[in-house]
Structure 1
Amino acid sequence: MFEKVLIANRGEIAVRVMRACAELDIETVAIYSEADKDAGHVRYADEAYNVGPARAADSYLDQETIVDVATRADADAIHPGYGFLAENAEFAALVEATDGITWIGPSSESMEQLGEKTKARTVMDAADVPIVPGTTDPVTDPAEIEAFGEEHGYPIAIKAEGGGGGRGMKVVRSADEIEDQFESAQREGEAYFDNDSVYIERYLEHPRHIEVQIIADQQGNVRHLGERDCSLQRRHQKIIEEAPSPALDDQLRAEIGEAARRGVKESEYTNAGTVEFLVEDGQFYFLEVNTRIQVEHTVTEEITGIDIVKTQLRVAAGEELDFEQNEVEIEGHGMEFRINAENAAEEFAPQTGTLTTYDPPGGIGVRMDDALREGDEISGDYDSMIAKLIVYGSDREECLDRSRRALAEFDIEGLVTVIPFHRQMLRDEQFVAGTHTTKYLDEELDPAVIENAQEQWGPASVDATDEDEETVEREFTVEVNGKRFEVNLEERGAPPLPSNGGASSPSRPNGGAPTASSSSSNDSGGTVTTAEGEQVTAEMQGTLLEVPIEEGDEVAAGDVLCVLEAMKMENDIVASHGGTVVEIPVAEGESVDMGDPLVVID
């Protein structure tokens, strides 16, 4: 078994992997950006190293730096978690080529074969797994998409080869949308997955999203651990997942499970992965393979009793799976609720703020996967997830009842979250009946229902409380050659220094790195404009991906003024009325804060 593992990720998944390592008596190494110097995964790890600025491309996506840190820390393995470089075959190959370091995941060859969606479709087709009609080669010209539409009709899904979770996916409903959506899908693929290749397929209108968890060892054994239902989504982003699916009968469940095993075995895959399917009218179609651990792996662990992360570690160390397929038992029902910093009443707009109160639920059947604590800041530099609430029951009815109780107990103050939305869904007829599809939230649910839930269960105020002025114990962090060290000082009668709120944090039993009191700041001062006219301001913190207008342009109501990326999602900033653009005080690639002026229209 490994002695020390570097986790090339952040947040709750990094802590999740570290906890599995702790149970196997494996030391852990965290990496962090400047924005994450006080983050929970840094506090939990045995060692922590700075890998660059807040921008993910300069830190969490810097492959050479991460491998260099692993070497300097004497780590003998790297676990990528999910997101960032988790499905990057080039990074996996770099790790594989580094002496003394093992990649905890499928081989780079398997990742390239199954992680890129067009190649995966070819593999699955060869294994006699049903696939949605579409291309098996990348699309490089909008004219190809138009020709496909003429043959198969609309809508069409344009998907980034390296994408997943809806990122890098755009839906085209008519020919005049092709060019803009094609460029947007390419841009997202390049930004998030370092791969601008896209493919297309027929877009199913009302499917269920069903995925099968698989695990395969280096001796050729492949097992599936049952399916998960991830049909409750907004903008193709999962928000509640459950297992097993309430939409499958025993025959369809068996067929999908075996199809997943068959397809994975065809590719000589190893380690954990997920085979995703769309199910519509009793038929299932291969969607994609996620060549990594999934956010929602937790519900499968609850109903099987199998620790998937520890199994990943054992398989990567060369151990053989110690159970047969017929020994996998599915018992009870599990649900996972993504507790995101988003306002569901405002189309799930990302939120920023400080956790002035963080009191998660407990009790039988309740599990919390998180990394944040009171006093921590949600800055908007990365995704919006605060935590994952996982609930288990002996059956779906008990799971629903227990989930209602747990969500009612969950106390978060300081920023808006999706907890009111979750509480409403547990009273929603279609969700409770298990008849919802992937389009339910975006196309069927009345927005007023979500607004009412936010009013009923949301926070009355998100203003941060004043920090404790009586603090005398201070915790500092210093860095030497990029490695993090902690220094604790206690002063009596001295004025307090700015801190992260004196929060408690996840900590290793053997003493991980404690919280640092210093915090990064943005010295830019925000954008400034002196032009007369109506200012269009940023509704959230983010990075400008595109500014398609110029000063002097005439714009009409509804025209896109700029594209703002926030928490891994593109957001079109549109004009509320027509006029002339008199000033654009920002530029593409620039970071902006909430309230910063973006465009002035007269």
Structure 2
Amino acid sequence: MFNKVLVANRGEIALRVMRACRDLGVRTVAIYSDADKNAGHVRFADEAYNVGPARAADSYLDHEAVIEAGRKAGADAVHPGYGFLAENAEFARKVEMSELTWVGPSADAMERLGEKTKARALMQEADVPVVPGTTEPVESADEVKQIAAEYGYPVAIKAEGGGGGRGLKVVRSEDEVESQLETAQREGKAYFDNASVYVEKYLEAPRHVEVQILADEHGNVRHLGERDCSLQRRHQKVIEEAPSPALDADLRERIGEAARRGVREADYTNAGTVEFLVEDGEFYFMEVNTRIQVEHTVTEEVTGIDVVKWQLRVAAGDELDFAQEDIEIDGHAIEYRINAENAADEFAPATGTLETYDPPGGIGVRIDDAVRQGDEIGGDYDSMIAKLIVAAGDRRECLARSERALSEFEIEGLSTIVPFHRLMLTDEAFRAGEHTTKYLDEELDRTRIDRAVEKWGAADASPAKDDGEGGDESGADAEVTEREFTVEVNGKRFEVNLEERGAPPVPDIDALGNGGTAAGRDGGPSRSRPEEAAGGDDGVVVVEGEGEQVTAEMQGTILSVDVGEGEEVAAGDVVCVLEAMKMENDVVTERGGTVTQVLIEEGDSVDMDDVLVVLE
């Protein structure tokens, strides 16, 4: 077994991996961006190293910075978690070529299965049913139109490296082809550094069922049963459960064995998930996720198998010590993603301080998180702050226990989707297990979500204010104050304790910039807010005149700028696309006019209320 593992991720999955490491007696190394210096995974790890600024492309996605952190720490292996670099075959190969061990499938297997067209061709060879469509990438709108003519509309354009709905666009008519193709390619490039896309027939109302796989280097392949992930919003999973309420014994057996055949054909090792679409009693291969999944937790609860621990053991060369017939599904488990989102506002990402954070407990209740009360939830990364996993003897008992657990979950200071989850436990279609992947987007009455948020949404808490009373103490009778400091030396994080007598208040380091001044923290240019319309100082964007200002409604990254100075726009026109918490958001004008200033460029990071475009 390894002595030290670097976890190339953040948040709850980083903490989940670190806990598995500790169970195995393995030391852990965290990496963190400037935005995450006080994050939970950093607090938990044995060591931590800074890998760059807040923008993921400059930190968590920086191959060389991550590998160098592993070298500095003297780590034996790298576990990527999910997201970020977890399905990046180029990064996996760099790790394989270094002195570090990659905890996951080989780079070759990732390439065979990570790119969807190659995976579809391989599955066909293994006699696994696939959705009708292309097994080669498409490059032009004409190609998409030809395929649609063969299979009929709607068709789905999918990014080769995609997942979680990113890079997936549904085309329902010929006049949508060009715009949807361009968007799918752009998302594929932005999220997965791969603009290639393929096309397949779009199934209108399927179930999303996936099979957890474990395979070792000794030729053993096991499946751990299936999960149902059909409750989705814009192709993003919200609630997952195991086993699926939609499968009978025969279909369950066929889909599990198909998953085993497929990964064996791919010469796959370590953990992975084979995803299928199920409709009218038939199943079709969709994709393989060559990593651990967010919802691996429900599989662990019904099988008693620690999937993450086995990832580490397989990477260390161990052989799976259980046969397929040894695996039994015991009871039922449901996972609720606790996202920082406002369900009543189209699930818009939310930011703020966890003024109250009091998760539930008791029998059958598991919380996977990396936060504590008082933490700041920013908009730099994914919106998920925790996972609530509930297990019981059967689905009916699991739903009842879920009601209790969700009612006990207290979060104040920002919006979360806890009220939405409580609503779903009153929903007849969900309780009956009859929902499909289209249920939330196309069938659920949206006013029910509004009422649920009004009924169960926690009011934002206000930070406590200093009453201004009290004073400094000094001299022999002053209290001794123990202070904790976090310092960073050559990119490595250290905790320092200092005892002081009659100490003055500690300044807010976060408010200070380079050299301890009140300048911008990262030394880069700051953007003016709407009320900051003049200045001209170095590094400050000047907003001239009193025109209509289009501002950012949330923190994020500019994916594209769709207007230029001098252009005429109408009310509702898109001026730019803003990515926040892995979701694309069109920024539109409220009225028409002429663009007089464009204050952003593709790739810029912006804060809430930053001025993006000015009209007159």
TM range (shorter): over 0.9
Q: Which piece of structure 1 moves more, 564-573 or 474-483?
A: 474-483
The size of the alignment, in residue pairs, is 583
Q: How far apart in 2 are the matches of 1:422 and 1:354?
A: 21
Listed as ranges, the gaps of 5+ residues in structure 2 are: 471-479, 511-519, 530-542
Give 2:229's aligned residue: 230
1:139 Cα deviation after fit: 1.4
Deviations 1:482-511 (A, max 9, x none): 11111122445434335699xxxxxxxxxx
- Are 2:42 and 1:42 equivalent residues in the alignment? yes
1:472 Cα deviation after fit: 5.0
Deviations 1:376-413 (A, max 9, x none): 11110111010000000110011101111111101111
Q: How far apart in 2 are the matches of 1:178 and 1:500?
A: 51
Q: How far apart in 2 are the matches of 1:158 and 1:9?
A: 29
Superposition CA RMSD, Å: 1.8
Q: How far apart in 1 are the matches of 2:187 and 2:351?
A: 22
1:596 Cα deviation after fit: 1.9
Contact 1:531 1:583 in 2 (8 A): no
Deviations 1:455-501 (A, max 9, x none): 11112235444479999543222222211111122445434335699
Aligned positions of 1:418-437 closer than 5 A: 418-437=417-436
Contact 1:375 1:500 in 2 (8 A): no
Give 1:509's aligned residue: none
Give 1:403's aligned residue: 402
Give SS of 2:422's match: helix
Pair 1:473–1:160, CA change in 2 (3 A): farther
Aligned positions of 1:160-179 closer than 5 A: 160-179=159-178
Give 1:541's aligned residue: 555
Contact 1:85 1:193 in 2 (8 A): no
Give SS of 1:563's match: strand
1:126 Cα deviation after fit: 0.5
Amino acid in the other structure paired with 1:340? N
Q: How far apart in 1 are the matches of 2:467 and 2:234?
A: 40
Give 2:491's aligned residue: 482
Give SS of 2:85's match: coil
Q: How far apart in 2 are the matches of 1:588 and 1:351?
A: 23
Q: How far apart in 1 are the matches of 2:483 and 2:509?
A: 11
Q: Which piece of structure 1 moves more, 246-255 or 453-462?
A: 453-462
Contact 2:20 2:308 in 1 (8 A): yes
Q: Which piece of structure 1 moves more, 205-214 or 146-155?
A: 146-155
Listed as ranges, the gaps of 5+ residues in structure 1 are: 502-519
Give 1:87's aligned residue: 87
Contact 2:575 2:587 in 1 (8 A): yes
Q: Which piece of structure 1 moves more, 114-123 or 192-201?
A: 192-201
- Are 2:379 and 1:365 equivalent residues in the alignment? no
Contact 2:412 2:459 in 1 (8 A): no
1:160 Cα deviation after fit: 1.2
The structure showing larger relative contact order (alpha-carbon pairs under 8 Å, at least 6 residues apart) is 1
- Are 2:585 and 1:571 equivalent residues in the alignment? yes
Deviations 1:149-175 (A, max 9, x none): 222222221111111111121222222
Q: How far apart in 1 are the matches of 2:548 and 2:588?
A: 13
Give 2:414's aligned residue: 415
Give 2:328's aligned residue: 329
Q: How far apart in 2 are the matches of 1:473 and 1:46?
A: 22
Aligned positions of 1:72-151 closer than 5 A: 72-99=72-99, 101-151=100-150
Contact 1:376 1:500 in 2 (8 A): no
Contact 1:531 1:582 in 2 (8 A): no
TM-score after normalising by structure 1:
0.94
1:194 Cα deviation after fit: 1.8
1:521 Cα deviation after fit: 4.6
Q: How far apart in 2 are the matches of 1:69 and 1:10?
A: 14
Q: How far apart in 1 are the matches of 2:123 and 2:615?
A: 52
1:522 Cα deviation after fit: 6.2
Q: How far apart in 2 are the matches of 1:473 and 1:449?
A: 51
1:580 Cα deviation after fit: 2.6
Q: How far apart in 1 are the matches of 2:153 and 2:591?
A: 31
Q: How far apart in 2 are the matches of 1:53 and 1:312?
A: 30
- Are 2:74 and 1:60 equivalent residues in the alignment? no
1:550 Cα deviation after fit: 1.4
Give 1:596's aligned residue: 610
Amino acid in the other structure paired with 2:496? V
Deviations 1:214-250 (A, max 9, x none): 0001011100000000000111000100000111111
Give SS of 1:564's match: strand
Contact 1:474 1:488 in 2 (8 A): yes
Amino acid in the other structure paired with 1:163? G
Contact 1:215 1:271 in 2 (8 A): yes
Give 1:244's aligned residue: 243
Q: Percent identity, aligned pairs only?
A: 71
Contact 2:403 2:425 in 1 (8 A): yes
Pair 1:127–1:592, CA change in 2 (3 A): same
1:179 Cα deviation after fit: 2.1
Give 1:513's aligned residue: none
1:325 Cα deviation after fit: 0.5
Which of 503, 514, 521 is residue 494 of structure 1 equivalent to? 503
Amino acid in the other structure paired with 2:548? E
Pair 1:468–1:289, CA change in 2 (3 A): farther
Q: How far apart in 2 are the matches of 1:581 and 1:404?
A: 51
